[in-house]
Structure 1
Amino acid sequence: MSLPTPRLDDRSFQDLVDEAKRYVQQRCPEWTDHNVSDPGVTLIETFASMTDVLLYRLNRVPDRHYVKFLELIGVQLFPPTAANVDVTFWLSAPATEPLRIPEHTEVATARTPEDEPIDFSTTRPLTIVPTTVDHVASQRADDDLVRHHDEAFVGGQPFFCFSETPVAGDRFLIGLDDSAPSNALLLRFACDIEGIGVDPTNPPLAWEAWNGDGWSPCDVESDTTGGLNRAGDVVIHLPDDHEVSVVDGANGGWLRARVVEAFETQPEYSASPRILALEVMTVGGTAPAVHAKTVVNETLGVSDGVPGQRFRLEHAPVVPGQEVVVEVSGDDGWVDWRSVSDFADSEPDSRHFQLDATSGEVAFGPMVRLADGGVQQYGAVPPTGATIRVERYRTGGGRKANVAAGAITILRTPIPTVNRVVNRRSAAGGLDGEDLENAKVRGPITLRTRNRAVTVEDYEQLARLAAPEILRVRAVPAADSSGVRVLVVPAVADDEQGRLRFEQLIPDDGSLERIADYLDERRTIGARVVVEPPRYQGVTVVARVRARRRFATEPLRDDCLRALYDYLHPTHGGPDGDGWPFGRPVHVGEVYAVLQRLPGTDIIEDARLFAADPVTGERGESVQRLVLDPHSLVFSYEHQVQVVDR
């Protein structure tokens, strides 16, 4: 069976005739005789027949020619986008002096018999600083008074860190001698078993750090204290915005343990934990990394002095979103040349070049012959004999780099006192390069938009051009009709249970800025463009499922949770599996359908929907139908499933 012939234009002979007759009615209303015998209609059918032959031949143009047509109108394949991940550097011993992890530090996954290692490099420097405790204090939920325990702490006297009967909002504060952004701290407690009532594996505690404007959540690596109930260690990761501040006259880098409202199945404190001693040590730090290899000072070749020169990078594709600078040697040293999307606005002395990120080709400005026989140079030409090099660029990208948590374990750049590295969460954002079929779809859209934004479809298309790493884009008119809201959803990766963290859905600031700047140059005069993430409506499902005979309850519970998180997912959920539709409500009947089709499910005894705030965790009343705003998406928040035996 032969491959299907591409249909570049699907209009038939009759479509062309009907279209011509409609134009006749609009442009020449006095022509009323449209019968086949009319000489004018005969001419229309003659030209339609000739056009039909041209379309027949055009539809048999091979893909290679079509690619060339796309290149003529400026369409290029989107390059692969690189996955991003946070990598934690663990020290062999607590820090005693500042340790700097430089930018471009390389880490990788382990080599296996089936797969080659996947390289990552850090995108900004990290400083791991030693820390000590300067202050300890507590604060009740219903009281602004801060009760310092510094004297008791120094004297080794035990003290209660919460109120006598802890309630949600009670806080235990720790003041460090300095801020430690992105550092991992080990809090070594000596505690009495006083905070009874809680589940030691799931205490109702949240660790937070002060960022200058409010309290940012801290990730808990491990907790062997059972919720501050026994001697042990709590290892937490401070956010990157941790700052020094003053609390009740005491200066320090503050963090706190806050009692949170317990879930239905989570027991609460009936008495406050009692602290005997506390020691704080810095044991590591976390830096962002990208799936890319950094290439430095790569020589492309020597200029021959003619317009339109082209050179190719040794490593392709080039990771989008970075500023690539080409340097050309001269009498006064190296001169920087700037990358542009096209040479339309380049003067003969403009030091511009064009970069094809997919192929890695660097092109300098061409010389174009004009209609009067003259020539016009677009962009400067590197002088004859000049050496051309690229100062720095990153190469990599692709879906394969969306590795699971714990996959990155190799430190390629040796750093003293760093014992091991690991990624605590899955890498996300890696996408493969665009294929030809999608580029064929973009071709006609590009011809229509003409690099300007008028309709909401134009804004969506141009936003994808500006930031290929964005997974979903939706443009909607602003509420006051003065502009357009461009809602963007980044590519995300789930954890092993299929869950997302809410902060994963917040697009990178760099992507938002690139989209905003790109659209600002192409919007209509007077239009206001706002680029932001959509509103997310949290949804919590509480269900009771009866298992079939000979089916274990725990695996079925895991399957139920995975199915719920997969279906109520903003990027790959929904009825079609390509992301929850914007504004589509959630029905409790869908929950029954999702759970009932699992192999181990016998019957769904009960299922309820609750609206939930994805930031605060507040939950509303049970509803049969959860209504979403017209341009919002769902976010699964802490589903609860109970599975019982038959």
Structure 2
Amino acid sequence: MVKSAPKIDKRTATEITQQLQELLLEYAPTWQESEIDPVTGKRLPKKGTISAVLIGTFARFAEIIIERLNQVPDKNFLAFLDLLGASRLPPQAARTPLTFSLAAGSTVDVVVPVGTQVAAPPAEGEKAPVIFETEAELVVTAAQLTSVFVREPQQDTWSDRTGWLTTKTATAGFVFHGDAGVEHSLYLACDDLFTLPVAKTVTLTIQSEEAQRLAGLPLTWSYWDGKDWRQISQLVSNISENNQSWQVSIPNFPVPVKQIINGVEASWLKVALNQPFTAGSDPLPSIQSITASVRVNQSNLLPDLGFINSSPLDLTKDFSPFGETPRLSDTLYLASQEVFSKAGARVTVNITLNETVPVNSENEVELAFDTWDGKAWQPLLVTPSSLATAKFSQSGSITFTLPNQIGLGEVNGKNNYWIRVRIVRGNYGTGTSSQPPTFTTLRQEIRENTEQIIVNSSRGFMPGDRIQIATGTNTQEVRTIGVVNTSNNSLTLTEALQSPHPVGTGVWLISNTLSPPLLKSLTLSYTYNATQSLSACQTYNNFTYIQQKEQPFIPFEALTESHPSLYLGFTLPQNRSKFPNRPLSLFVSLADLKYGEKFIPLSPPYSRQVATTGIVTHPIWVTNDTEQSVTWRVEIWGNNWETTISEEGTSITLAPGEIKSLKVQITIPEDLNQENRDIAFLRLSRPDTFATIYTATLETFVADQLPPMSPVRLSWQYWNGQAWSKLTVDDGSENFTLSGLIKFLVPADCQTKAEFDLSERYWLRVQWETGDYLIEPRIINLALNTTFASQTLTIVKEILGSSNGSENQIFQTTRFPVLQNPQLEVREPEKPSELELERLKLPGNSNPITPTPNSREVWVQWQQVPDFYGSSSRDRHYVLDQLTGKIRFGNGRNGLIPPLGTGNLRIARYQTGGGKAGNKPVDSIVQLKTTVPYIEKVTNLQAAVGGAEAETLESLRDRLPETIRHRDRAVTLEDYEDLAKLASPEVARAKCLPLHWLGDPPEQAPRRGTTSIIIVPRSEALKPLPSLELISRVEKFLRARACPTVEILVVGPPYIPVSVNVEIALSSLEGASAVEQAVKATLEQFLHPLTGGLDGNGWDFGREPYKSDFYALLEAVPGVSYIRRLLVDDGRVSQEVEAIRKTGRFLVYSGTHTISLFFEES
């Protein structure tokens, strides 16, 4: 800041009055119209007298003259600056990107002309809308940007960034950094086995020449449950001795829900690779074949349905399998979807008879078992547990094997898998089943080989009768009675009994009376073993499914590309088939990051460290910004050198809001030479899923110092149907280093392509081929059909007047102020010489003349200059006062005089406007003032910023001396500081530290050839920190103006918080809370780095407030009586504060204050 000149005369009107009084007393002793001031003791003119009036008038006019005299140095200084061609800067126009939208259903592309006007409605306190004009022609296309993806092959990650297209919910994401692992999966289906709705064990036999290596891969097996892939945790793995076969058994295999994958509907088993697989990795083993086998053991199953001929059975109750009066060919039908559908299954039918009812089996009944094969009934070869069981006359089991051909059949209108049991010979007696049976029980136990039995009653039994003895264990024996003794109820048998029978065993008289079997229960059991080839097998790599019909095949493959890429997918309306071959505009809005801020949850995403030997440490920070504890799995991969993670190990748990550091230590091998390097990747993922991951690249160099970062080179490409072809773009984002427009013209041969498991789209992609980002860019929003607009009003072909050929002619524009780059033209009688035309050519304007029709006269564009000091007699120059719109031409010696003519001076184009009124919030510039067909709406997705009023004289006085000193070159310490503030209006303060590299620890020795600059941005925040984009802009600006050999580092300031603990005595209880708020606001304002301090100009670097400053400050707050106690505390660990304090380059800021209020009555 330029200091004001010292005052030539410091007297005021009061002092002049006193001096005049003293002179009157000296030279006019008879003058008596004076009196002594009782307060000051000075003699003054008596009030109300003529002398007082005259003396007061004279003193005031003298004071005015002195004030003007004191301004002479400043006026002369301004005159000097004017002599140098200085002028105040005109207002600056606010600028913002405007996004245009077509009307719903529109399928045509629309051109929005340059200069299209869009207005922001008047805000509160404004009387008129604020007009913005588009800066370039815009093609609003009907093509829609619908998909945005990131693919990072070096770390085998990807991201769906389509959220960037939605401004309301957009979140920042890295341009070339994925946050999810690329899926590498093998999908297996064998519906005949996998869909068995029973408990089963499925075994997959995988033939591979490297079975051991294949089985050692980190694989996750899962199945689809209808909503998500559910992991299978219980697996049994076996490798064959010859390392050619790998068997994976899955007990209790669930039934996967069917889903369609790549057009194939099946019950899928998914095998996913759980490790990054990059292009540089060794190829994984191939698979020769895969077969599936299943083993099922089920028992005690009820049949689904049962019929006796055409009558349905209730199988949950006792039932007669062939009815109450069975006859030849009567049939029992049994159905089971589960049991009888398994071709080759070993089935057991378990029957239990009701023992209270005898079965007449004297007639050699024979039963036949059949199953339906889909076309006809086929006989079954059965194996009963006994011959009696085969006739359903004794409890037991009947086992058979189902044939290889099984089919659905319809029985009595019911479709199912069926078996049947038919009576093919004999019967269960004749006559009527209503005759009551003759029955008694044993009174005494019978041993083995006994011929005589004692019963409770022999009534009804006669010699020659046949009887049946049945025990509770279903042991039945039939014998003939030889002798009946009614006196002791004994029956002598013709043949001894073979088995023992206890007391109470039933004894029935068997006759030819009808007595069919009555079953208490009938259940099914089966064992099923089957081996089949897979019904479907698909691999999924790089978002592409491949049906593996040929053998062998590679299940997991790496990405084919080698560079990180950003993909943009476009779709067209239904009735359009060609991508527009017209220039399109895409606005890229980058997310900002403040200096010292950390990326969440992993920071930094890229670390570079250097050493010659030993262990190199990469400090990494992990942040939990959620309200819950978070556990992360920590992995290191891709490294060739020994790498360890200190302290935390393979997992890290963070409490809500906690920040932890990870120290990744890399050991440099001893036998390495200089210029070697190693790249490792740190990976954070949740323990239960790989759906979301975060990665950091750790690059270690073997050298004395870090190699310089090379410039970034990006390659834009489009798909032409066969390959990716080069696409030329106008990149206003400068390789995604700042928010801006990217303009491109897609060639006519652009074709659709299927990517990322989506339907076909027109794809553009940008690849990061080489170079290094200091901070990898993050995008928060992408907007198609966008162009920049500024708060200006454009006037074209305004006639200034007519030249009369005189010297120093002055003309006036109708509107002012005039913003940058007006185009003034003079109609001349003939075309200038070629040499003169070359001198008139400006960047972006290679043709400075405009012919007039039917005349030799031409309009010639003249050049604006700050002054005529460097103009010759033939230079077509003019001087413009942009604030007033006054235009002055030369005198013929310095600057050419415009030729005589009528209306031969005009401004072909100029703009007016600017000011703070143009700084508008998001979505406020929405009124389309220029009618454009098919355009439905327009809005600003970003706030309009940059609007500023015209420069003040004070600012001019500060700027020009600095400009004269540095001449746009950084040489001295002050030059760096002045140019840093000139690099951007956002820079409020700058401090240059030569021979310091602030990236080193403070105790490091000075480094020759280095310069560090600390910048502080204009901000009302308590702790102003520059954004990384601002740091990059300032650093780039300084490098272009400094010595090429100087290493420049721009950083933000280190801060020390100042916390005040104060006890305040109130003058009154009323408004106590307001006093507390006022004290807090006063402290925050006083401690603000830019606007605080005693003079309101902020705090100097290295300056801390004194304790006494706070007493005077706080006691001046209304409502404060006095300060009882005050303590100033930095609020941080003393060692850290002392380390910052010793540097002398810190700033203070408002910390956490404790304010206690007291009231004491006097």
The structure 2 residue matched to 1:356, chosen from 877, 881, 900, is 881
Provide, for residues 291-338 of structure 1, a one-character-per-residue CA deviation record: whole Å limited to 9, x for no partner.
Answer: 32223232222222223222222222233xx33332111234321211
The structure 1 residue matched to 2:811, chosen from 311, 317, 322, is 311
How many Å separate the matches in 2 of 1:103 and 1:88?
Answer: 14
The structure 2 residue matched to 1:408, chosen from 913, 925, 949, is 925
1:381 aligns with 2:906: no
How many Å separate the matches in 2 of 1:573 and 1:56?
Answer: 31
Provide, for residues 426-473 of structure 1, a one-character-per-residue CA deviation record: whole Å limited to 9, x for no partner.
Answer: 6345244314x5556678889999999986557777888x88956646
How many Å separate the matches in 2 of 1:594 and 1:287?
Answer: 50
Aligned counterpart, 2:119: 108
Secondary structure of residue in 2 paired with 1:363: strand
1:181 aligns with 2:178: no
Aligned AA (1:130): Q
Structure 1 residue 87: Cα displacement: 4.2
Aligned counterpart, 1:10: 7
1:121 aligns with 2:646: no
Aligned counterpart, 1:417: 935
The structure 2 residue matched to 1:397, chosen from 914, 929, 934, is 914
Structure 1 residue 414: Cα displacement: 3.6
The structure 1 residue matched to 2:82, chosen from 71, 74, 82, is 71
Aligned AA (1:327): E
1:434 aligns with 2:952: yes
Secondary structure of residue in 2 paired with 1:296: strand
Secondary structure of residue in 1 paired with 2:82: helix
1:298 aligns with 2:798: yes
How many Å separate the matches in 1 of 2:179 and 2:956?
Answer: 61
Aligned counterpart, 1:328: 826
CA contact under 8 A between 1:90 and 1:283: conserved in structure 2? no
Secondary structure of residue in 2 paired with 1:506: helix
How many Å separate the matches in 2 of 1:94 and 1:560?
Answer: 57
CA contact under 8 A between 2:1060 and 2:1154: conserved in structure 1? yes
The structure 1 residue matched to 2:145, chosen from 131, 135, 141, is 131
Secondary structure of residue in 1 paired with 2:817: coil
Distance 1:383 1:443, change over 3 A: same
Aligned counterpart, 1:272: none
CA contact under 8 A between 1:83 and 1:427: conserved in structure 2? yes
CA contact under 8 A between 1:108 and 1:409: conserved in structure 2? yes
Secondary structure of residue in 2 paired with 1:350: coil
Aligned AA (2:792): A
CA contact under 8 A between 1:431 and 1:469: conserved in structure 2? no
In the TM superposition, 1:26-425 aligns within 5 A as 58-59=69-70, 71-89=82-100, 93=104, 101-111=112-122, 114-116=125-127, 117-124=129-136, 130-133=144-147, 138-139=157-158, 146-147=182-183, 175-177=567-569, 181-182=586-587, 240=740, 252-253=764-765, 286-319=786-819, 322-330=820-828, 331-332=830-831, 333=851, 334-366=859-891, 377-385=893-901, 387-415=904-932, 416-422=934-940, 424-425=942-943
Provide, for residues 84-109 of structure 1, a one-character-per-residue CA deviation record: whole Å limited to 9, x for no partner.
Answer: 44445455559866555554443332
Structure 1 residue 359: Cα displacement: 1.8
Secondary structure of residue in 2 paired with 1:177: strand
CA RMSD of aligned residues (A): 7.0
Provide, for residues 36-81 of structure 1, a one-character-per-residue CA deviation record: whole Å limited to 9, x for no partner.
Answer: xxxxxxxxxxxxxxxxxx9998437599888656534544333333
CA contact under 8 A between 1:486 and 1:531: conserved in structure 2? no
How many Å separate the matches in 2 of 1:634 and 1:127?
Answer: 51
Secondary structure of residue in 2 paired with 1:427: coil
Aligned counterpart, 1:20: none
Secondary structure of residue in 2 paired with 1:71: helix
Unaligned 5+ runs, structure 2: 11-64, 152-156, 160-176, 188-225, 234-275, 277-542, 544-564, 571-583, 590-625, 630-655, 658-691, 695-710, 716-737, 745-754, 768-780, 832-850, 852-858, 996-1006, 1119-1124, 1156-1162
How many Å separate the matches in 2 of 1:347 and 1:317?
Answer: 28
Distance 1:57 1:633, change over 3 A: closer
How many Å separate the matches in 2 of 1:311 and 1:7?
Answer: 35
Unaligned 5+ runs, structure 1: 1-5, 14-53, 152-156, 185-195, 216-237, 256-280, 368-376, 521-526, 612-620
Structure 1 residue 348: Cα displacement: 1.2
How many Å separate the matches in 1 of 2:916 and 2:134?
Answer: 19
Aligned AA (1:110): P
1:506 aligns with 2:1043: no
CA contact under 8 A between 2:1058 and 2:1129: conserved in structure 1? yes
How many Å separate the matches in 1 of 2:787 and 2:158?
Answer: 32
Aligned AA (1:506): L
Structure 1 residue 412: Cα displacement: 2.6
TM-score, normalisation: structure 2: 0.32
Aligned AA (1:111): P
How many Å separate the matches in 2 of 1:159 and 1:550?
Answer: 63
How many Å separate the matches in 1 of 2:1048 and 2:135?
Answer: 23
Aligned counterpart, 1:231: none
CA contact under 8 A between 1:96 and 1:130: conserved in structure 2? no
Provide, for residues 384-427 of structure 1, a one-character-per-residue CA deviation record: whole Å limited to 9, x for no partner.
Answer: 11712223233223334334445434333344334242454363
CA contact under 8 A between 1:131 and 1:282: conserved in structure 2? no
Aligned AA (2:131): D
Secondary structure of residue in 2 paired with 1:328: strand
Provide, for residues 229-267 of structure 1, a one-character-per-residue CA deviation record: whole Å limited to 9, x for no partner.
Answer: xxxxxxxxx9547799xx99x974479xxxxxxxxxxxx
How many Å separate the matches in 2 of 1:312 and 1:569?
Answer: 45
CA contact under 8 A between 1:79 and 1:318: conserved in structure 2? yes
CA contact under 8 A between 1:292 and 1:396: conserved in structure 2? yes
CA contact under 8 A between 1:119 and 1:293: conserved in structure 2? yes
Distance 1:418 1:550, change over 3 A: farther
Provide, for residues 545-582 of structure 1, a one-character-per-residue CA deviation record: whole Å limited to 9, x for no partner.
Answer: 9xx9999x9xx99x999997x88877656776546645
Provide, for residues 133-180 of structure 1, a one-character-per-residue CA deviation record: whole Å limited to 9, x for no partner.
Answer: 48787549999973379x9xxxxx9889xxx9xxxx9xx998433697
Distance 1:444 1:354, change over 3 A: same
CA contact under 8 A between 2:96 and 2:944: conserved in structure 1? yes
How many Å separate the matches in 2 of 1:511 and 1:103?
Answer: 34
Secondary structure of residue in 1 paired with 2:145: coil
Structure 1 residue 378: Cα displacement: 1.0
In the TM superposition, 1:439-450 aligns within 5 A as 439=956
Corresponding pairs, count: 484
The alignment-based identity, stated in percent, is 26
How many Å separate the matches in 1 of 2:908 and 2:813?
Answer: 12
Secondary structure of residue in 1 paired with 2:88: coil
Distance 1:106 1:438, change over 3 A: same
Distance 1:89 1:56, change over 3 A: closer
Secondary structure of residue in 2 paired with 1:80: coil
